[in-house]
Amino acid sequence: MAGSIKNSLRLARAGLVLAQHGVRFVPAGMPVPLPLRLASALTAPIGWLAAPRLPREKRLSSALTSLGPSYIKLGQFLATRADVIGPELAGELSGLQDNLPPFSMAEARRAIEESLGGRVEDHFAEFGPPVAAASIAQVHRAAVIDANGQRREVAVKILRPGIERRFKRDLETFYFAASQIERWHAPSRRLKPVAVVDMLKSSTELEMDLRLEAAAISEMAENTANDHDFRVPQVDWQRTTRRVLTVEWIDGIKLSDHKAIAASDIDRKALGLTVMRSFLKHAMRDGFFHADMHQGNLFVDDRGRLVAVDFGIMGRLGTKERRFLAEILYGLITRDYRRAAAVHFWAGYVPSHYPVEVFAQALRAIGEPIHGRTASDISMADLLGQLFAYTEVFDMQTRPELILLQKTMVVVEGVARGLDPELNMWVAAEPVAKEWIESNLGAMGRLREAGEGASVIGNILADLPDLLTQGQQTALALADMTRDGLRLAPDTVRALAAEEARRNRWTRLALWIGAISLAALAIGQLSH
């Protein structure tokens, strides 16, 4: 009960902040219940008094930034979910920047000394002011003296003080809101709002343990060891803990520095192709990809190699998801729409009661127009948007494991096109998808699957005696229950009845709290 009240008050505060920024969070045309319309009419003056001066398209981003780190992360996630919040709001959130004022040098030094022990000077020959600050951590430039007496430049990433506590509190509120949506709004259940919060929670937990980020860098370094056009910084494990990460300082041109790139002799077309193909190789070949590949996290070094930094958000794809991605790309590239449709059914993304041919017809409606257009007119982001438009028609369930892939693909496309506006997405994707299909679904892939299958069968046979014993015990227990009937002690029955009555009381109260919360969230929304 107390938790419901606290979460409702936090949601009410968020609603007030949105209203003060003049945000309309209810998509145009969406039916709104009468109580919310009345609440909006009564509280509309707050929105008028706020008199927001920002352009409408920047108000939502500004409101979420003022609400703090958790809401910035939530906004970045929702930017990928046009199917949930509508294309207009998704467009507004796409420009949400994860930039916040840095915390003090004194706090940074204290964090290092608490994490590494001793004094800062015991670990770093030089420790400079912050060069970048985001919602979860900030980065400092520093220098170390290695075992050979050589000076090395490093980047030191430090978590914000108290960030774990704040995220835990806000995630509790997000779960409360998502569970209420799933419980009381049946059409939203297929969008799995709780699963979206699950992914946000999982992602931020990984981001807040910098040892895991170091491990991600190490894993990607192994995966890309033979890639001549891509690399990652080296990790300084000696100076890395849960709250402090030290890696090699990257000297190169940031891809967001358009003037520097234009003034260099960098082959922009080749670099754009490298950006796109690197992402696709990591996703399909390795099943492990950098899920925050915006141009601020990408550099080009003096040898023309693409270098990625900031591995706080990573994505993983299993064999099933990798096959899905490769087959979809290859099916659309080669105009084999039935094959692309069939893999949706094989993966379980489309319910089996729909004919494959009908879904293939929908994919043809998406794919055919792009084959008659120039490369500069073909947008993978638009393609994904059209594909998602069919999710409701075919009762497709949202796949949480693909959310980061979808988000990253759109971002990577923007980065690649910024380097080469005429980049042909299909020319870039075809060899990667084709190679994956040939190596995994061809003769060698079948042999590998056979070997893995034999291993699985061997494990099952080894466990068979235990499984038979457990099955026998379960059968005997069920026989006893069938013969004697299932009985509950009177105390148990009374306790269950009391608990059910208590739950009903709190449920009714929670409904009122939820209605009040929704009214608060509607403040000023419908009047703008």
| Residues classed as catalytic | 292
Whole-angstrom distance, CA of residue 41 vs CA of residue 23: 15
The two tokens of residue 115 are 């994490």
Contact 518, 40 (CB under 8 A): no
29: left (phi over 0), alpha (psi -120 to 50) or beta: left
In angstroms and rounded to an integer, the radius of gyration of the C-alpha atoms of the chain is 27
Whole-angstrom distance, CA of residue 19 vs CA of residue 96: 18
Contact 246, 154 (CB under 8 A): yes
Q: Is 420 exposed, middle or buried (0-12, 13-18, 19+ CB in 10 A)?
A: buried
Q: What is the longest distance spanned by two Cα atoms in the chain?
A: 86
Whole-angstrom distance, CA of residue 523 vs CA of residue 528: 10
Whole-angstrom distance, CA of residue 458 vs CA of residue 360: 39
Q: Which segments of 185-282 does DSSP mark as H helices, in order?
A: 193-207, 210-223, 258-263, 268-281
Whole-angstrom distance, CA of residue 96 vs CA of residue 75: 7
DSSP 188: G
Whole-angstrom distance, CA of residue 401 vs CA of residue 396: 14
Nearby residues of 382 by Cβ (< 8 Å), 6 or more positions away: none
Contact 174, 155 (CB under 8 A): no
List the Cα angle 390/392/398 in 5-degree steps: 95
> Which residue type sits at 83?
D
